[in-house]
Amino acid sequence: QWFLKMDELAKLAIEDVKSGKVKFHPQRWEKIYLDWLENIRDWCISRQIWWGHKIPIDGMEDVLDTWFSSALWPFATLGWPNDNSKDLKEFYPTQVLSTARDIINLWVARMVFSSEEFLGKPPFSDVIIHATILAKSGARMSKSLGTGVDPMALIEKYGADATRFGLIWQAMGGQDIHWAEEHVLAGKKFANKIWNASRFVLERSGIPNSQFLISNQISIIQRLNETSKKVNTLIDQYDFGQALHELYDFFWHEFCDKYLERAKKDDSEEAKAVLLYVLANSLKLFHPFMPFVTEKIWEHIPKEDGQKLLMIEEWPKL
């Protein structure tokens, strides 16, 4: 067998995390990464199988461990360091890697030390360890056991936005998800809520936002700004589930349940402008989570600049 001596390579990957060059989200997964690297053994990189990258030694029939090949992915796809590749200069390093906890050691750590060895810097700055979706019983989803869920069937039954909603809604703090289809149904109902609230606002208003000065002292605008700030912070922390919860609570309970009900009694032009302003900015915030219904509604939002696509609108930031 062929082995790769790991002591010096492991130090490179350890230093990247301890210095903050590479951050894990949630942070607790750093411990798995560091424990493995600090107790590492030399790596057997040869395999006696029929497929794989051949070890580049004359007469050698062994192939490389598939994780050895995978460890080179961040730059092997862009061009080797001595190739003077334009793609490598432009796209390396990237920012975010999203992956599962099962391969923190198999893949993430090995990409980091391989990239450090060949290029002198880590391949990414942030590693998101996403939740594992389990069956409702807590068992792993498996085709052979019949515990899996076909996402296409969910999309057919509830819609793509509702399916996205159901997944993101349950993904809180990187905790494993015990799959519950009722959250997808809730997503469908919420998409209908957004649609109906938008119909109400658009039937009452055809005024582009800037024709009225929208005061930050109006309570619903204050709450919109506070929610936008929270959502931006949570997205920056890659906590997408909590961001969706914040948006949901604001739009359903504060905008729809309270403000829209009061607005039915106020037919002033300022009230109409506020409704349109809050709706437009809410659609922008919801778009990454529920892109289809928000994009469709956006077609009907009055716009002074003629901008047609919500997906390329400026993101709300304070």
Q: Distance of CA 207 to CAs 53, 201, 214, Å? A: 63, 11, 13
State the pLDDT confidence band at 58, using cuts at 50, 70 and 90: confident
Report the predicted TM-score, pTM, of the whole model to 2 decimal places: 0.88
Helix or strand or coil: residue 13?
A: helix
Mean pLDDT of 229-256: 96
Q: Is residue 211 scored above 80 in pLDDT?
A: no
State the pLDDT confidence band at 95, using cuts at 50, 70 and 90: very high
Lowest-confidence region among 27-36, 204-213, 293-302: 204-213
Q: Is residue 213 scored above 60 in pLDDT?
A: no
What is the model's pLDDT at position 309? 92
pLDDT tens figures, 260-272: 998 888 888 888 8
State the pLDDT confidence band at 84, using cuts at 50, 70 and 90: confident
Torsion of CA 292, 297, 300, 304, to 10 degrees: -80
Q: State which H helix or E strand residue 25 sits in.
A: strand 23-25
In the chain the first and final C-alpha atoms are separated, in Å, by: 58
pLDDT tens figures, 124-180: 999 999 988 998 888 888 878 888 899 999 999 999 999 999 999 998 877 888 999
Please tell me the distance from the alpha carbon of residue 281 to that of residue 315, in angstroms, as a whole number: 9
User: Helical H runs in the chain?
Assistant: 7-18, 30-38, 66-71, 73-76, 86-91, 109-119, 151-158, 160-170, 182-204, 219-236, 240-248, 261-263, 269-286, 291-298
What is the model's pLDDT at position 257? 95
Please tell me the distance from the alpha carbon of residue 284 to that of residue 314, in angstroms, as a whole number: 8
Chain position carrying tokens 């309970």:
253
Q: Is residue 306 scored above 80 in pLDDT?
A: no
Q: Which two tokens stand for residue 204?
A: 């009452």
State the pLDDT confidence band at 218, using cuts at 50, 70 and 90: confident
| Better pLDDT: 214 or 304 | 304
138-312 CATH choice from 1.20.1260.10, 2.40.100.10, 1.10.730.10, 3.40.190.10: 1.10.730.10
Chain position carrying tokens 């400026």:
314
Mean pLDDT of 104-118: 97
What is the model's pLDDT at position 231? 98
pLDDT tens figures, 22-36: 999 999 999 999 999
pLDDT tens figures, 156-171: 999 999 999 999 999 8
Beta pairing, strands 63-64 & 177-178: unpaired
DSSP 140: B
What is the model's pLDDT at position 65? 95
What is the model's pLDDT at position 239? 94
- Reduce the secondary structure of 63-128 to three states and give it as a string: EECHHHHHHCHHHHCCCCHHHCCHHHHHHCCCCEEEECHHHHHHHHHHHHHHHHHHHCCCCCCEEE
The domain locations on the chain are: 3-129, 138-312
Which residue, 252, 141, 105, is CA-closest to 191?
252
Please tell me the distance from the alpha carbon of residue 132 to that of residue 174, in angstroms, as a whole number: 8
CATH tag, 3-129: 3.40.50.620
Q: Is residue 210 scored above 60 in pLDDT?
A: no
Mean of the per-residue pLDDT values for the chain? 91
Q: Is the peptide bond before 288 cis (omega within 30 degrees of 0)?
A: no
Q: Is the peptide bond before 122 cis (omega within 30 degrees of 0)?
A: no
CA angle 69, 70, 75 (to 5 degrees): 90
Q: Is residue 55 scored above 60 in pLDDT?
A: yes
Beta pairing, strands 63-64 & 46-47: antiparallel
State the pLDDT confidence band at 61, using cuts at 50, 70 and 90: confident
Which residue, 123, 104, 130, 98, is CA-closest to 35?
104
